[in-house]
Structures are given as structure tokens and as C-alpha cells.
Structure 1
């Protein structure tokens, strides 16, 4: 059993505490901004940094992954809960709490039943498209905030874009000046001195500017009063119908966080050589989200940017998360007055700069260069998420994942083995000239399970190979079954049709290197009836198949 705060020693304690102070400086302004994106008060973002953060740090196996509300989670909350209640209302807040609880329970179920593999359906193109669509939607709201233009942040992307363009004549010059200066400080500062918490610097400088120049009286929006005090224990009370209405969005939150969180957690564990336990990490997300819903916050995800910042600061434990929780609690107890005059354009600039990497521009360029079909998958997911909504976006993501899987499964490697044992050209590309392994014998290898997506492809390839060898040249067909791990009913029907086609041409059928479970499956599907393992020239066939190269790992 891993002890809490694994990796913490007397030697690295000071480094970890220093990293925690850095994390505090980064997280406070970002979480205030993310709470506003979600349509919730600033305290909702700050509360997430206390109890949920501590519980996560004590349970998780990862020594570095930072758990917190992030831009994608905030946008999902706004787009899903916004359709059920008015942002800023008590009902809206209750729905956001309930959504976090549901997501937490789903994480727990994933951990208990070891179902984290479901997140593997969210491939890189899908994640890039989905998160990119959310990020661009957020960006429009932040640009409006930076310009001092009033728009409905809970509206869909097209409506917000139209409202932003229509409101440009009403932009506030001071807001634009604050935003432009904030963006310049953030970008230039990060380019030259990445260790400095520039978001905190921006908040301090712009708040001082607002106070000295009285800019709140000149049309610049400020954060306003933030209630003091620690988070209080609560519980969302809703009817069953409303709970059910939140399930799809909770599933989306859970899957996106699972896919991104486990990927980042595994990468850092491998980088620094400490254990990675996926189910333990899922349980930690579950505990954190239930805690968030029970004390006035919203869904907690994984923060890639803050995790990277902690790695650069030399942190290798979860102690910075505890420092963050203590610092946030002290701020809520004694320092909320410091937050009242933070200008909204500065918050918009901080969030806007933070989500630029989430737009996925580099990733889309990389996908275009490497695989146009996967680029198309990402682009479709991006557009659906952006123009229709996050829930349709996640549904389309799963459909696209299945289409991508079926496309690849329907094009398995099918080889004809020549007398030397070397595979001929793939039968799925240019038509082969035909190859017989010994007089009258041809060996064909399918490097995939035989199922509905490739059954017809396989039988067509076998027929084509036999025809290419010439009329009457083939009397015996041997199917190398080493890489065939399963056969489904549809695949069996295609194979049965192939058997009849072979019988009509007096070509015998034999199998080579059949796995025990596959042999049982062939028997269950009546594919062995009347087909004893009677391969003619058995010694020659055994020698040929034994010398044949192993299927490539991605073909198994």
C-alpha cells in the first residue's frame, strides 16, 4: 500500500514547499477565471483547491499530477448545466454540485470495476478536436471580457460570436488597455523567466492600477465582493429526473478527465521512475469530485499545464497540493478583500493565454502531416463540439472512434507466403502475381482476428491469390492461424462460404499453428466439420510456416 505523499523526504521538503507556493500563485487566478467560465462565483473555484485537493493528494498514486477544475471542465459545466438553469442562480449552482458528485461516483465505479480502458476510445485526434472546440468557445468569452463587451457566456458559440462582433462599438478602452498589457506581460514573461508566477504579477499590477486610477468608475468590470470563510458542507438536493438529465455531461467529464489524466500521470511516472496505478488514480479523482460537490465547488479534472509547472519547479510529491490547500484556506479566511478589485479584463487575459495551447493548432498541423483521416476525425469532433455542443461532441467522438477502429480492423495484413517463407505483397494493395509455397500448395496468413469487419476482405484476398496462381495450380490451401485470436459469427459465415468455394474447385483446406482457444472457437462455429487437420505435405508446410517472419506488433 502506497503511503500518502510518497517520495517526500527531509532533503526535498523545502523544494516541495517552494513549489507549493508557486502552485498557489498559479492556481488562484486561474481558478477564479475557470469559475467564471463555468458560470459560478469565484468561491467555487477557490473551494476546489482545499478539501478536494487534499483528498486527491492523499489517495492518488501519481506523485505529480495536479487535480483542479480546468478550462475543459469549466466549459463542459457551462454548456451542459446552462441548458438546465440560468447561470448565477441557486438552481444552477446546485446542478453544478450534483454534476461533480455524479462524475465522482463514475470515477469510483471505473476504479472498482477496472474500466479505465474505456477512455482509450478517446484517441489523440478526438481529444485534440474535443478540447480544441471547448477552448475556442471559451476564448470568445474571454475576448469579450478583455474588451469590456457584454455577451451571454452561457450561449452557444455562434450566438456568442455574433454578440461579440455586434458589441464591438461598445468596447471599453481601459479594458482593452488592461487586457493588452496583461497579455504582453504574460507572453513576454513566460518567454524569458518561466519560473516567475506571471499570472499573479498581472493580477497585482492591474488591481493596483484599478485602485489608483479609479477604473471601476470608468466602465472596467471588477471581480466584486468575495465571501470570506471556509467552504461549508452541503449536498445537492434534486429530483430523480434532474439527476438523470445530468448523467450525459457527467459521463463526458469523467471520460475526458480519465483519458487526459491517466495519460499525463503515466508519462510523468515513466519519466521519473515511480509506480503508476491507473485504478488508484481514478479512485482519487472520484473522491475529489464527490468532495467538490459536497462543499460548494464544481467538477475537478487534471491540469496538464500546472503539472508541467510543478515538474519544472522540481516537485516530485503531492506536498505542493497540500501547500496550495492551506494557502487558499488562509486567503479565504483573511484575504478576500484583496480580490474585490481584480479587473475582469486581466482575468480574461490570464485564462485566454492559458488555453491557447488547448486550441490544438500544432496538433492539427501534425495530424494533417501524418494522417489525413485522423485529421478529419479531429476536425469533425472540433466542429461538432464548437457548433452544436459538448455532449453531442463527446457522442460524435465515440462514433468516430468506432469508425476509425472498424476502418483499421477492416484492413488487416493478409500475406501469401512464398517458398522462401517471406511474405508476398499485401493482398489488400496491388493484386499479387500469386505464390505457391510448394507444388500445389499455398499458405495464407491473416494477422488479425476474423470478424465482421474483415471476413469478406479475407475471403476475397484468398480467392484472388488462388486465381493469381493460375487455373489448377493450387490443390491445397493452408491458413496460418497463429495471429487469429478470435472468430465471430459473421466472420465464420464468410469463412464457410470460402470453404464451399474451395470445395467446388477441389481445393483442400488445412490449418497451421492454431491457438487452442481459436481451435475451440472454430469447432463451436462448425468450421472444422469434415475438415480434419490433414495438410498434404505436412513437413513442407510446417517448415515454411515455422520459418515465416513473425507478424508485426501492430498487426497482432
Structure 2
């Protein structure tokens, strides 16, 4: 039997003549998506458009050569851009040389921190920011971006600052400055993007929108007073640079760089793990961290800003069928050609069109459906997400990160404060740790594996539990496991993050021909499991209940499950 660890993890592994056209098509689509988005994100960050394009060349190449994930796309994204702007806005004037130098230094420090996280094997950090916390934090940043893009789409000019309250005030008081042509153009772009996505999501509608809107502005002869345009974009290869900052300025950037490193690592590793599990290749979080770190250091040295994982672009290439990092290499090559030969065509892009593209892209990050699902399944975790959203939006990104960590600790403490206490003796010794219990679970009958976890299943332990069981199932191919029994007597809770991981685990078991059953639920756990759609079939614990319970009891009585 072949395990996940036997699969070749090289980024271009699996590339053949048969699938090469699909990979190339994904690369062209990625180029068409990334260029307009990165121009918009660099403006959100308060930097020149070229900063967003530079991130797609050398940092992307370094990332591809060092990453462990086959599919994850790295690039500045909406959340990172907003975090850069909000953290540096109070330290320097956006657009100034000092501001740009601080953005470079911030990327370098963020990269060094990620490299250190990789060296000290801290990839597990992604397990300690639960889904509600990440949803709330990212949604807060996304809503802040959305408001700023609406201002751009309406053609309202003037300084509105980096604080959300200031942006709302500008939106409310600036209605007399609304430019009708900007509104019409932005509305048309939004209509094309939304309708196009429903018609055929594989077509690069963002690029088509930019081309059409640029033609419309040129043909109609609309003045710059009615529709703002991007303006000249610096051409040529990115040059090596070093931030001209004092050591006090370097120190002032450290907290925001730390926040960027934590958010980027957590989101990137979560997405990477999701696609690795879904597509059946190894997940190597510490190698991914090293790739993120090196690409961020490179971004700082060549005039760009902080790079993270791009969820939307990763989903786009996966949908086309790409399973290697070849699309990212095509993205780097295409952007390089654009910087050398084609920046002139970018100068006439209307700003409302860029605002529309970014606004449509970040709407998905508001996660309205996921908030609704949290409210349905767990009001406490829904409240945590809302608090993170509100603090990030109103107070700022850095306080939002701090609140997220405090809430994560409170959430962990709240769930671990009242564990089920099951005293099991084994040769006079107390019961072993969770890892030992799961990894030492024993086959109680031919083809049957009984596992008991004496702890709540939560975001902090679910990965360890699942991976331990996976390793046990694939450890002895000569005695294949055909039935897995999870003894739930000692499980007092299952949170949203753990439930999603268990649903993924169920799919993995089905692919490996293993049937899943549960036994000995506590009374409140049946309702809890149904809330998370983990017991959609009554037979999962009713069929052969007596036999399953007997197996579980036999394992417990002989001390073989601890």
C-alpha cells in the first residue's frame, strides 16, 4: 500500500505531456487574474503599482523552487495589503520614500520570522488560530478594503486616511463629489465580473474588464476629472534595494511584521493543508513556511511588499485542473515580459475598474455564509468571530491580531477546563498522552481498528488525532484496515474546525476503503455530531452497535487503547 509520504512532493512532480496544456492554460489564466489584482492591492497598501508586479517575478520564482505544496499560489493579497496600510499609515505618509522603505523592511522582517518559524518547526501554529477567529479577522480587513474601493468606484477624491471610521466619514460626507461617469463605469465592470463568473469562471474576466473599460474611456474622451486613470507604471526589471531607515524605524515595524507573519503563516498553512488532503499529496508545513520566508525577504530586497497565500488564485488554478507549480512559473515569466515591454498599456486603466475588480474579489472574504453557519452550529464561536471582525475593523489590524490570540487562548482554556476524567490503569501506571493513545490503538479483530480519544475534539488537537489514525491505518498493508471505530465515550465536544477536519477525514477513509463507525456516545454528543453533519446516516452508529461496543470494551479492558 502506498502512503502519502511515499508520494513525490516536488512542485513540478506529475507534469507530463498529457497534462502540460492544462497547466499552461492555468498559468495564462493566473497571469490574467494576478496582474490587475496586484495593481489594486499595491494601491491599497499605499504603494506604486509596480510594487505589486515586482512581487510576481523574483519572489514567485524563489517560492516555487522552495515550497512543499504543489498548488498553493503565493502573492500579496487583500488582507496583507490592508494590514500593510493600516500598520504603516501612522508611521509615514503613504506614497513617500520613507513609507515605501518601511514596506520593504516590513516584508524582510516578516520573511525572517517565517524562516525562523520553519527552522524551529513551528508549522503547527496554524492549528492554534481556529476558523472563527480567521473568518472574523479576514472579514474585518475585507470590509475595510471594500469601503475604500467603493470610494474609488464613486470617484470621490481627497484624503480619507487609513482608519475605517475616516473612510466611512468620507463616504458619507463626499456624496456631492460623486462622479457620474465613474459610477457608470464601475457599475458596468461589476456587472461584467459577476455575470461572467456565473457564465464561465475559467475565463479571465478581470483582464477583459480592464481592456473594455480602457477602450471605453479612450473612445468617449472622458476627462480625468470624471474618471481617474492609473497613470504611468515604472517599466524595467526590479532592482535590488535596501531600506534607508533608522534603527528606531526598524523597531517600530517589528510588531506589524510579526502580525503579518502570523496571519500569513496561519492562512497559508491552512489552505496548503486543505489542498494537500484533497488532492492526495504530502503536506509539509515547515517547508511551506521556509518558502514564504524566502519569498518575503526577496520581496523586500527588490521593491515589493509582504507576500502571503492567495486563496482565490489557488482555487482558480485548481478549478482548471492544475496540480503543479508550473502556473506560478508562467505567471513570473509573463509578468517579467510585461514589466520590460508592456507597462505603457497599463497607464490608461481606469481607477474605478480597478476598484470594481478588487471589490468583487474581496466580497467573498466577508464570509457571510460561513458566519451564518457558525451562528447555526455554535453561538459561542460565532461570537468570537464577530468580536474579531469588530475589533479588526474599528480599532485596527494589530489589535485585531492581539484579540484573536487572546480569544484563541480563552477558547482553548474554556474547552479544556472541563475534560472527561477517565482513569484507566495499565500495569499500575496512569493513562498515557493523547498521542500515545491514538498511535498505540490496537486492532481488536481482523480488519477492525478501535480508537478512543479521551479529550474534546477541537482545533488544537484534531490534526494530531487524524494524522495518528491515518498513519496507523496505512502502517501495515499486509493487514488492511476495513472498519474504523471511534469510541466517543470520553469525547465531550467537537468544535467547528474539528468537524470540518473530520468530514475531510471521512472522505479520506472512503477513498482507502475504510468504513467509519462510532460507539458509546455521551447523550449530548449525538445532537452535536448531527449539527456538524457528521451523523447524516443513523447506521453509522446503530448497525452492529453491540458488536462495536463489545470491541471497544474489550480493547479498554485489556488496556490496548492507551
**Given the two structures, how large is their TM-score scaled by the length of structure 1?**
0.75
- Listed as ranges, the matches of 1:182-221 within 5 Å are 182-221=189-228
| CA separation of 1:4 and 1:122: change in aligned 2, threshold 3 A | closer
* Structure 1: runs of 5+ lacking an equivalent: 418-445, 450-481, 484-543
Q: Which residue of 1 aligns with 2:477?
A: none
Q: Which residue of 2 aligns with 1:76?
A: 83
CA contact (8 A) 1:53 1:68 kept: yes
Match of 2:148 among 135, 138, 141: 141
Q: Which residue of 2 aligns with 1:287?
A: 294
| CA separation of 1:335 and 1:365: change in aligned 2, threshold 3 A | same
Instruction: Measure how far apart 1:14 and its partner are.
Output: 2.1
Q: Which residue of 2 aligns with 1:118?
A: 125
Match of 1:58 among 56, 65, 84: 65
Verify: 1:160 aligned to 2:167, yes or no: yes
Measure, in 2, the Cα distance between the counterparts of 1:18 and 1:182.
24
Match of 1:385 among 380, 388, 392: 392
Measure, in 1, the Cα distance between the counterparts of 2:73 and 2:423.
51
| CA separation of 1:416 and 1:163: change in aligned 2, threshold 3 A | same
Match of 1:260 among 267, 272, 277: 267
Q: Which residue of 2 aligns with 1:96?
A: 103
Verify: 1:174 aligned to 2:181, yes or no: yes
SS at match of 2:230: coil
Instruction: Measure how far apart 1:268 and its partner are.
Output: 1.2
Verify: 1:10 aligned to 2:17, yes or no: yes
Verify: 1:270 aligned to 2:294, yes or no: no
Instruction: Measure how far apart 1:5 and its partner are.
Output: 2.5
Match of 1:366 among 364, 373, 380: 373
CA contact (8 A) 1:87 1:154 kept: no
SS at match of 1:175: helix
SS at match of 2:314: helix
| CA separation of 1:387 and 1:268: change in aligned 2, threshold 3 A | same
CA contact (8 A) 1:78 1:154 kept: no
Q: Which residue of 2 aligns with 1:314?
A: 321
Q: Which residue of 2 aligns with 1:453?
A: none
| CA separation of 1:550 and 1:305: change in aligned 2, threshold 3 A | farther
**Given the two structures, how large is their TM-score scaled by the length of structure 2?**
0.74
* Structure 2: runs of 5+ lacking an equivalent: 1-7, 425-452, 457-488, 491-549
Match of 2:234 among 205, 227, 237: 227
Q: Which residue of 2 aligns with 1:478?
A: none
1:525-555, Cα deviation, whole Å (9 max, x unpaired): xxxxxxxxxxxxxxxxxxx9x948869xxxx
1:330-372, Cα deviation, whole Å (9 max, x unpaired): 1111111100110000000000000001112111111111111
Kindly tell me the number of residue pairs found equivalent between the two proteins: 435
Instruction: Measure how far apart 1:152 and its partner are.
Output: 3.1
> Which deviates more, 371-380 or 216-225?
216-225
Q: Which residue of 2 aligns with 1:426?
A: none
Please, what is the CA RMSD of the aligned residues?
Answer: 2.5
Instruction: Measure how far apart 1:119 and its partner are.
Output: 3.1
Match of 1:354 among 356, 361, 376: 361
Measure, in 2, the Cα distance between the counterparts of 1:57 and 1:137.
31
Measure, in 2, the Cα distance between the counterparts of 1:153 and 1:303.
27
Bigger-Rg structure (1/2): 1
- Listed as ranges, the matches of 1:386-425 within 5 Å are 386-414=393-421
